[in-house]
Structure 1
Amino acid sequence: MSSPAAETYGPIFVGVVLNIVLYGIMITQTFLYFTVYKRDKIWMKLFVALLFFCDTLNCAFDIAFTYLPLVNDFGDLASLNYASWVFATDPAMTAIIALFVQMFFAWRVKVLTGSITAVCVIMFCSLCQWCGGIGTAIAVGMIPEFTHFQQFEVIVIVWLAFSAVADTMICISLVWHLRKHKTGFSQTDDVVNKIIRMTVQTGLITALCAIIDLVLFLATPAGLHLIFNLPLSKLYTNSLMSSLNSRAGWKYGNGLGVGTSASELGRSQIKGLQMQSEYGKRVSVMNSAGQEVYIDVESHEMIDSLDKGPSPSESSDVGTVKMFALPRKSSEKPSRASVGQAPSRPSVTF
């Protein structure tokens, strides 16, 4: 004979465990963000901190509504059939977190695509799911019995259905825009494909989880939907943080180095190489003629000669890129010592 708590608190326990595991991933993602992206705008950092605070609060509430009936009210079988006010905070917190994340992605859709229609649809669906989540929390407080949760299935449908529609719209809008604006160059298209894969993975995970949660809620009163409902908030925050933390891979994933042929270098790649190089750093590339080309980046100060001396507001740093090629025989490799003996070094100033 199964335990009286197995039917209700079995799925709740599994959902809380998954929620805590995803919270650990969120901690790592947040630490990496504040470590790597120190130059992000202050509003972005505050936004990430707000999401992390909401996630922490949600985890505390989840642990509390699991602890109260299983520990404090141990042996009281009646308490296993009723949801406490702490349990009612979960749909509200999930809807609030989803609203923040979906509004951020709606802003990203506006910046990338400029489509006001898509942004309005996403914002409308996001606001509807937020209202549905708050309404679900209120309904749980009015009807706390787990077996009677299906009496307010309409508000739950509004919450989860509009949440899935908003996530799907975000995914479709970004993927459609990125595929439409491919350049035809292999290196840039590889970066675009990475962004598309990341967008599809993060967008469809939350949409799919919301749909499964809704189907199980309508199909059975056993509480199996809570396995997918409780970790839903962490899926939203982790999808956003993975999108923010993957920006370094988009920018530097196809970096240039030894072995890259000159025929593969366009003007945009050379410009990106100049911007990414540090002062005093030597970068080498291989051209199609078998020559190793070294690029030296140096720093010089430019001062107005009409003045007696430089002032902080009138001086600026400019970079000088010096490029020189060394012939390479098929059986020999260029040495570092021969580089300094090059007779001429034509320079290009940018």
Structure 2
Amino acid sequence: MKNSGCLVPPIHSPKHIKPRRTKILSQESFIMPLPLLYNHTRIEVATYVLGGWDIGICADLFFQGILYTQFIRYTKICKRDSPWLKLFVAGLASLTTLKSIQAISMLWLQNVIKFEDLASASVLWRTHWLFHLTVIGSALVAFYVQLPFFCVRLWVMSRNIYIVFVVSLLFVMALAAASAATFYIFRRDFDRGLDWLAVHLGTAFLGDLILTVGIVVFLIRHSRVVIPHGETAHMVTGLLRLTIQSAAPSAMVALVNFIAATRINVTNERIRVELMLCEISNMVLPQLYAMSAMWTLNSREDIRAEAEGASELDTFSLVPAPPPADADREWSANDSIHETSPGPSLDILDEKSPPERFPV
């Protein structure tokens, strides 16, 4: 066949047809669930999946910076603390640092390695082991703060073995539920994983609620034996304020996470704003628990100084009025608040303080 003096091969000849360049989908793209491929736009996927992880990771790193300042401040005021308590803080610093390293790795994997592949990046939370560790990592940090620190603090204050046992059991159950959720997530059984995640979040929230209410009730009950406007009364007021303020952020985030995880499982629609809230909450909860513990430890000197400065002032106090004199005489010497356990010293006061001792 001739054309302008040149031999032109037949058009149908396969040897001379330039192959069409097609994009080969990665393995993650084939695993992608159908709703993500067909029922959601790229904007929805980028916002609720990638955006949720980005915001959560950035918040994680922001709170970790605050934690480092708290750790540094603790090293300057921990001279009288027991070795056990110093070891606890060192372990907490190590755990939160490892959690932030995981967050940076997730950010690099999602925004750098998978930068040009939205399909693969949007399912990393379903396919990559690094994202699967988010639930159990958050649960480990929370458990590390809840059981060795706050449960010991509750025991030192209340000496009530029953309430301490119930709270400790709830925290152990929460860790077990998080382990079960991680197991099913690794097996790609996300329905059961979400069920166990909801159990974990609900159990941990209930334990936190009982713990906080127990500490507040104890402080109010024992504040009846102190002078309403003395130094110890101001110290109790400071402890009440500290307990509520330090517990509120983590409790609210845990509640939001629990509601969002439950909603996702009920509606059976993965890509929605609830998924974004779960991603953000799971990333910031460990840091909030750690900040609560460090806030409590670092506030001891501030509460003591505030109580000493305000002891002579007639200021507003959260402490209720003391009972009649007859009721005061019913209190025995054993009813005063002292830390006598062999455990770590978590006192707000030391040997230079008045006789009434209130553990932080």
Partners in 2 of 1:18 and 1:150 — Cα distance? Answer: 27
- Pick from 63, 81, 95 the counterpart of residue 123 of structure 2: 81
Post-superposition, which runs of at least 4 consecutive aligned residues in structure 1 deviate over 6 A? none
Q: Residue 79 of structure 2 aligns to a residue in which SS?
A: coil
- Which of 228, 231, 248 pairs up with 1:185? 228
User: Is this contact kept in 1: 2:205–2:254, CA < 8 A?
Assistant: yes
Q: Tell me the residue number matched to 1:98.
A: 142
1:72 aligned residue: 113
Alignment of 1:237 onto 2:279: no
Cα displacement string for residues 242-293 of structure 1 (whole angstroms, at most 9, x for unaligned residues) = 0000111222223359x889xxxxxxxxxx9x947xxxxxxxxxxxxxxxxx
Please report the TM-score for the alignment, with normalisation by the length of structure 1: 0.70
* 8 Å Cα contact 2:56-2:281 kept in structure 1: yes
Instruction: State the match for 1:246 in structure 2.
Output: 299
When residues 82 and 256 of structure 1 are mapped into structure 2, their CA distance, relative to the original with a 3 A threshold, is closer
Equivalent residue for 2:160, pick from 115, 129, 142: 115
Unpaired segments ≥5 residues, structure 1: 262-271, 277-350
Equivalent residue, structure 1, for 2:62? 21
Q: Deviations over 1:93-130 (max 9, x none)?
A: 11111111111111111111000011001110110111
| Offset at residue 151 of structure 1 (A) | 4.4
Q: Would the alpha carbon gap of residues 9 and 260 (structure 1) be closer, same or farther in structure 2, given more than 3 Å must change?
A: closer
Aligned pair partner of 1:128 in 173, 182, 191: 173
What's 2:22 paired with? none
| % same residue | 25
**Alpha-carbon separation, structure 2, partners of 1:275 and 1:219:** 53
Count of residue pairs the alignment pairs up: 261
* Structure 2 residue runs without a partner (length 5+): 1-41, 265-269, 315-348, 354-360
Deviation, 1:73, is: 2.2
Structure 2 counterpart SS, 1:254: helix
- The one-letter amino acid of 1:243's match is T
Q: TM-score, normalised by structure 2?
A: 0.68
Tell me by how many angstroms 1:69 deviates.
Answer: 2.7
Rounded to whole Å, the distance in 1 between the matches of 2:260 and 2:114 is 28
- C-alpha change, 1:4 and 1:158, in structure 2 (3 Å) is closer
Note the alpha carbon deviations across 1:201-237, whole angstroms, 9 max, x for none.
2223222211101111222432222122210000000
Aligned with residue 197 of structure 1, among 241, 260, 274: 241
Deviation digits for residues 54-97 of structure 1 (CA, Å, limit 9, x no counterpart): 00000110111221132112222332213211112221111111
Query: Residue in 2 aligned with 1:162?
Result: 203
3-state SS of paired residue (2:218): helix
Q: After TM superposition, give the deviation of residue 4 of structure 1 in Å.
A: 4.2
3-state DSSP class of the match of 2:307? coil
Q: Counterpart in 1 of 2:184?
A: 139
In the alignment, the residues of structure 1 paired with residue 68 and residue 181 of structure 2 have an alpha-carbon distance, to the nearest angstrom, of 28
1:3 Cα deviation after fit: 6.9
Distance 1:256 1:189, change over 3 A: closer
